[in-house]
Amino acid sequence: MSSEKTNQSWGGRFSEPVDAFVARFTASVDFDKRMYKHDIMGSIAHATMLAKVGVLTNAERDSIVQGLNAIREEIEAGKFNWRVDLEDVHMNIEAVLTERIGIVGKKLHTGRSRNDQVATDIRLWLRDEIDLILAEITRLQQGLLDVAEANAETIMPGFTHLQTAQPVTFGHHLLAWFEMLSRDYERLVDCRKRVNRMPLGSAALAGTTYPIDRAVTCDLLGFEAISGNSLDGVSDRDFAIEFCSAASLAMMHLSRFSEELVLWTSAQFRFIDLPDRFCTGSSIMPQKKNPDVPELVRGKTGRVFGALMGLLTLMKGQPLAYNKDNQEDKEPLFDAADTLRDSLRAFADMVPAIKPKKDFMREAALRGFSTATDLADYLVGKGLPFRDCHEIVGHAVKYGVDNIKDLAEMSLEELRQFSDKIEQDVFQVLTLEGSVNARDHIGGTAPRQVRLAVERGRKLIAER
Ligand code: ARG
Contact (CB, 8 A) for 296 and 254: no
Q: How far is the CA of 119 from the centre of ligand 1 (A)?
A: 9
Ligand 1 atom 2: residue of nearest CA: 327
E-state strands within 153-211: 155-160, 163-169, 197-198
Q: Which fold has domain 115-362?
A: Fumarase C; Chain A, domain 2 (1.20.200)
Chain center to CA of 66: 37
pTM value?
0.94
Ligand 1 centroid–CA 326 distance in Å is 7
* pLDDT of 18 above 80: yes
1 pLDDT band, cuts 50/70/90, is very low
Q: Point out the residues that are catalytic.
A: 161, 282
Asked if 86 and 95 count as a contact pair (C-beta separation under 8 A), the reply is yes
Which backbone phi and psi does 48 adopt, to 5 degrees? -65, -45
Expressed in angstroms and rounded, the spacing between residue 2 Cα and the centre of ligand 1 is 23
CA of 41 to the centre of ligand 1 (A): 18
Q: Is omega for the bond preceding 321 within 30 degrees of 0, making it cis?
A: yes
Confidence of residue 144 (pLDDT cuts 50, 70, 90): very high
Query: Where are the strands (E) in 100-252, listed by range?
Result: 155-160, 163-169, 197-198, 225-226
Q: Ligand 1 — pocket residues by CB below 6 A?
A: 28, 32, 88, 114-115, 118, 324, 326-327
CATH architecture of 18-110: Orthogonal Bundle (1.10)
Mean pLDDT on 78-89: 97
Q: Which of 114, 120, 323 to mutate to test the pocket of ligand 1 (most atoms within 8 A of CB)?
A: 114
Ligand 1, atom 4, lies closest to the CA of 327
E-assigned strand segments in 117-214: 155-160, 163-169, 197-198
Q: What percent of the chain has pLDDT over 90?
A: 91
For residues 92-111, give the mean pLDDT: 97
Contacts of residue 294, Cβ cutoff 8 Å, sequence gap at least 6: 257, 258, 259, 261, 262
Q: How far is the CA of 23 from the centre of ligand 1 (A)?
A: 13
Q: What is the tens place of the pLDDT at every residue in 177-217?
A: 999 999 999 999 999 999 999 999 999 999 999 999 999 99
The reported pLDDT for the residue numbered 3 is 43
Mutate to test the pocket of ligand 1, among 35, 43, 115 (most ligand atoms within 8 A of CB): 115
pLDDT digits (tens, 9 = 90+) for 241-295: 999 999 999 999 999 999 999 999 999 999 999 999 988 887 878 888 899 999 9
Question: What pLDDT shows up at residue 8?
Answer: 65
Using CA atoms, how far apart are residues 134 and 341, in angstroms rounded to an integer?
9
Between these two residues, 367 and 83, which has the higher pLDDT value?
A: 83
Long-range interactions of 426-433: CB distance < 8 A, separation 24+: 426/375, 426/378, 429/371, 429/374, 429/375, 429/377, 429/378, 430/371, 430/374, 430/375, 431/371, 432/155, 432/167, 432/362, 432/365, 432/366, 432/370, 432/371, 433/155
The helix/strand/coil state of 225 is: strand
As to burial, measured by CB atoms within 10 angstroms (0-12 exposed, 13-18 middle, 19+ buried), residue 359 is exposed
CA-closest residue to ligand 1 atom 12: 327
Choose among 204, 193, 275: nearest CA to 239. 193
pLDDT value of residue 2: 42
Going by C-alpha positions, the residue among 445, 437, 375, 440 that lies closest to residue 408 is 375
Own/partner pairs for 422-426, CB < 8 Å, 24+ apart?
Answer: 422/378, 422/379, 422/382, 426/375, 426/378
Ligand 1 mean position, distance from CA 118 (Å): 7
Average pLDDT, the chain: 96
Domains 18-110 and 366-462 share a fold: no
Nearest CA to ligand 1 atom 3: 327
Domain 366-462 class? Answer: mainly alpha
Q: What is the pLDDT of residues 428-460, one digit of tens each?
A: 899 999 999 999 999 999 999 999 999 999 999
Rounded to 5 degrees, what are φ and ψ at 397? Answer: -65, -40
* Separation of alpha carbons 28 and 188, rounded Å: 27
Q: Is the dihedral of CA 130, 93, 60, 12 positive or negative?
A: positive
Mutate to test the pocket of ligand 1, among 13, 88, 330 (most ligand atoms within 8 A of CB): 88
From atom 11 of ligand 1, which residue's Cα is the shortest distance away? 324
Reported as a single tens digit per residue, the pLDDT across 61-77 is 999 999 999 999 999 99
Amino acid letter, residue 330: K
List the domain boundaries for the chain: 18-110, 115-362, 366-462
pLDDT of 50 above 90 = yes
**H or E element in which residue 272 lies:** strand 272-273
Q: How far is the CA of 81 from the centre of ligand 1 (A)?
A: 20
Instruction: List, for residues 402-433, the tens digit of each pLDDT value.
Output: 999 889 899 999 999 999 999 999 998 999 99
